[in-house]
Amino acid sequence: AFADALKSIARRSDVKACVEADPVLYPLLRRAAARFVTGDARQDGLTIARNLSSLGYRVSLEYIGENTTDAEECNAAAREMEELIGDLGSSRMLARVSFDLSHIGLRIDDELAYENLMKLAATADKSGIELFISMEESAKTDEILAIHERAARIHSHVGITLQAHLHRSEEDARKLPANSLVRVVKGAYKEPDTIALPRSGKLNERFLTITEQCVRNGHRVSFATHDESLIEEAIARKWPASGRFEFETLYGIKPDLSAGLQEKGQPVRIYLTYGREWYLYLCHRIAEFPPNLYRAVTAMIGG
């Protein structure tokens, strides 16, 4: 309930406008977000990406945004992503661009999202960059999977995220096109028990089952979690040795865990975000892990 309330408050444009206009609150929240978000501008993301890349990490970049309901804003977001792809393409980093389909049109019309995706995929093809579709709340899963399937038939470098918490995901993993790019996550959205598992040992078992299936089917897998028991199990099962497997963590969350894996020679990708919608991203991270609220307040008061 807390997670849902926080996200719906964050999405309200009147609340956002109030926060943005508040000369005291806005900079304080911005400081709290700095742990998770590289900055407002593409250059902020690229600078951190270059630093991480020089340390041997792969990177993902996201221009933050979701649920955009204005077609011109969707197209503007897609143009920003094209610029990002262009910059990454000339940087020689092992990079990918991640995004929500609802940022580039899904809330208006599936075809708008598909068309923007195809434009991005064509640019990414030329630049040698992978694209990754994030998974949103369960009401959108069918549409997102259908758009991915259409795009991946033409562009094999368009990846998809599966949420292990959804009961349907084992079946969705089975149906992925051959040679897919897939990211497995637990799931960040609050869903009813009828369609999803809460954080639990059962969820971790399902996370491993889905990954095992993807590895066996020859897909390239990003194992996206900060759960150390899952990471240990992946190493014990020798999945990274396949060369088609990597760990992926969010910037600002358990950096020592990522560094430890990296030092041991494990393939690690760090997921970075930038953009003026950092406020929404901060709320997602707090909703997913409420102790972050305490850390955010500490950061705001200068701790």
Interaction with ligand FAD in 155-214: which residues (CB under 6 A)? 161, 163, 183, 185-189, 199
According to the binding rule CB under 6 A, does residue 253 interact with ligand FAD? Answer: yes
Residues in the chain: 303
Taking the least distance from each CB to ligand FAD, the nearer of 71 and 244 is: 244
Q: Amino acid identity of 43?
A: Q
* Contact (CB, 8 A) for 110 and 143: yes
Q: Is 265 annotated in some ligand binding site? A: no
Q: Is 187 annotated in some ligand binding site? A: yes
Interaction with ligand FAD in 258-297: which residues (CB under 6 A)? 271, 285, 288-289, 292
Taking the least distance from each CB to ligand FAD, the nearer of 116 and 204 is: 204
Q: Which residue from 250, 272, 296, 299 is in contact with ligand FAD, where contact means CB under 6 A?
A: 250
Q: Is 188 annotated in some ligand binding site? A: yes
Instruction: Give Cβ neighbours of residue 179 (< 8 Å, ≥ 6 apart).
Output: 156, 218, 219, 220
According to the binding rule CB under 6 A, does residue 33 interact with ligand FAD? Answer: no
Nearest distance from residue 125's CB to ligand FAD, in Å? 22
Q: Which residue from 167, 226, 237, 244 is in contact with ligand FAD, where contact means CB under 6 A?
A: 226
- Could you tell me which of 302, 303, 300 has the C-alpha nearest to residue 26? 300
Q: Which residue from 33, 95, 135, 208 is in contact with ligand FAD, where contact means CB under 6 A?
A: 135
Taking the least distance from each CB to ligand FAD, the nearer of 71 and 289 is: 289
**195-230 burial string, b = 16+ CB within 10 Å, else e?**
ebbeeeeebbebbbebbebbbeeebbbbbbbbbeeb
Token pair for 113: 């999202």
Nearest distance from residue 237's CB to ligand FAD, in Å? 17
According to the binding rule CB under 6 A, does residue 134 interact with ligand FAD? Answer: yes
Task: Match 């011109």 to its residue by tokens.
Answer: 72
- Could you tell me which of 171, 118, 165 has the C-alpha nearest to residue 142? 171
Nearest distance from residue 224's CB to ligand FAD, in Å? 4
Taking the least distance from each CB to ligand FAD, the nearer of 71 and 191 is: 191
- Could you tell me which of 235, 215, 238 has the C-alpha nearest to residue 225? 235
Cα–Cα distance measured from residue 144 to residue 152, given in angstroms and rounded to the nearest whole number: 12
Cα–Cα distance measured from residue 74 to residue 108, given in angstroms and rounded to the nearest whole number: 9
Cα–Cα distance measured from residue 301 to residue 303, given in angstroms and rounded to the nearest whole number: 6
- Binding site residues for FAD, as ranges? 135, 163, 186-188, 225-226
Q: Which residues of this chain interact with ligand FAD, rule CB under 6 A? A: 134-135, 161, 163, 183, 185-189, 199, 224-227, 248-250, 253-254, 271, 285, 288-289, 292
